[in-house]
């Protein structure tokens, strides 16, 4: 392979396991407007021993890729998984998009944004073009921790963690070169949601994201998309790309649902390469068909049941919540420090209280009047938290 820092394209950056030679694919364009994303590159002739074959998986179907030398190479394209993206052409703002994309005009999403900002001291930061090494290390470490906790809660395994070392190694330079970004939602100085993205001209590819499970009530995944779309409109982006994965939120948000393609390029007149292409291409097509028919769902359910039996060690403290009416119940008691090491496990209950009552976090106090019982007291609402042994 003839990879250099200069000739590796977006497909290799996003999918680092792929084998790609840009002397074969020098130009990548969006098919709907014909605009060039990568640009033509000068290619010197090279001689490759044997019969080379190049495999480029997961090419978005709305990309048009021009082949450099169709006198030497042949290309066969096979359909793969379904992909999801948001095309921003024709829309003026994120609210304009919500109004036309959602039957409810996106009101629940905007309500979630307002509730988050009314209940907590929220700020948003896009690290794009500049980030310090210390901050990068901190945020990437925290993102990994969020993913581990989230998937442990779901008794599932994240495929992103399998290539985490490579992702971490390359991300810092890519952010400072404006080829990637970290989007962060902060509560005060505390990151509660983090998204790592790739950037290619007018495309933002949301590659991996997660949030603190203590704030699950606030729909941070939806808010992340909303706020990043705001950034995309402000910076005149054309696509917000979410990749594959048949998830409900992707179906709802996407106005551009397409099919990924598997491109296989091989030298003409090579019978072994041609036969291998047919084998690999039809395997891709078969896997895509089985996934579309949800053949993997029963297997994942059985695997999840097995994992749940072995996940009891990770279970959080169980609690029971009861609303109470007596605002004077805490007379004579002093509030406890929250959060600290002894009360961290109550974060989810505390944030759930904020979300439900729409109280502001600074106006809410925590009491511990008796063993195995806490009281969350706001200005107008009160809740008892009973610890279950």
User: Which of 5-14, 59-68, 259-268, 363-372 has the largest mean confidence?
Assistant: 363-372
Quote the pLDDT of residue 344: 86
- % of the chain beyond a pLDDT of 90: 44
Q: pLDDT at residue 6 above 70?
A: no
Q: Name every residue whose Cβ is closer than 8 Å to that of residue 383 and which is 6 or more positions away in sequence.
A: 321, 322, 323, 324, 349, 353, 375, 376
Q: pLDDT at residue 314 above 50?
A: no
| Lowest pLDDT segment from 78-82, 331-335, 346-350, 364-368 | 331-335
Q: pLDDT at residue 130 above 80?
A: yes
Quote the pLDDT of residue 29: 64
The mean pLDDT of 339-362, rounded to a whole number, is 91
- The number of C-alpha atoms within 13 Å of 75 and in the hemisphere containing its C-beta is 16
Quote the pLDDT of residue 301: 55
Quote the pLDDT of residue 302: 53
Which H or E run contains 87?
strand 73-87
Q: pLDDT at residue 62 above 60?
A: yes
Quote the pLDDT of residue 328: 65
Strands 256-267 and 382-387: unpaired
pTM reported for the whole predicted model = 0.83
pLDDT in tens, 151-200: 887 777 777 777 788 889 989 999 999 989 999 999 999 999 999 999 88
């Amino acid at each position: 392979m003839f990879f250099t820092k200069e000739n590796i394209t977006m497909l290799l950056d996003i999918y680092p396991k792929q084998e790609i030679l840009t002397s074969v694919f020098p130009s990548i364009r969006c098919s709907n407007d014909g605009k060039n994303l990568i640009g033509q590159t000068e290619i010197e002739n090279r001689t490759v021993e044997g019969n080379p074959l190049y495999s480029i998986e997961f090419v978005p179907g709305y990309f048009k890729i021009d082949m450099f030398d169709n006198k030497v190479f042949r290309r066969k394209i096979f359909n793969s998984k379904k992909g999801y993206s948001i095309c921003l052409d024709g829309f003026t703002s994120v609210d304009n998009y919500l109004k036309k994309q959602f039957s409810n005009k996106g009101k629940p999403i905007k309500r979630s944004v307002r509730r988050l900002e009314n209940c907590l001291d929220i700020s948003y930061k896009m690290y794009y073009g500049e980030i310090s090494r210390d901050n990068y290390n901190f945020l990437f470490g925290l993102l990994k921790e969020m993913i581990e906790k989230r998937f442990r809660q779901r008794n599932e395994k994240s495929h992103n963690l399998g290539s985490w070392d490579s992702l971490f190694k390359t991300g810092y330079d890519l952010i400072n070169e404006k080829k990637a970004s970290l989007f962060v939602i902060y509560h005060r100085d505390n990151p509660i949601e983090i998204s790592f993205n790739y950037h290619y001209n007018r495309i933002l590819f949301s590659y991996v994201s997660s949030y603190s499970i203590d704030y699950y009530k606030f729909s941070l995944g939806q808010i992340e998309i909303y706020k990043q779309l705001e950034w995309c409109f402000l910076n005149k982006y054309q696509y917000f790309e979410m990749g594959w994965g048949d998830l409900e939120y992707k179906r709802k948000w996407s106005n551009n649902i397409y099919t990924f393609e598997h491109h296989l390029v091989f030298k003409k007149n090579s019978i072994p390469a041609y036969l291998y292409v047919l084998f690999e291409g039809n395997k891709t097509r078969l896997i895509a068909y089985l996934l579309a028919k949800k053949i993997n769902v029963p297997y994942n359910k059985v695997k999840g049941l097995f994992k749940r039996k072995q996940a009891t060690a990770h279970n959080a403290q169980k609690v029971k919540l009861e609303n109470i009416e007596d605002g004077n119940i805490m007379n004579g008691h002093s509030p406890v420090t929250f959060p600290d090491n002894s009360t961290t496990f109550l974060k989810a209950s505390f944030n759930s209280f904020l979300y439900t009552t729409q109280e502001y976090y600074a106006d809410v106090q925590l009491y511990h009047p008796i063993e195995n019982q806490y009281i969350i007291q706001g200005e107008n609402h009160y809740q008892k938290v009973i610890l279950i042994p």
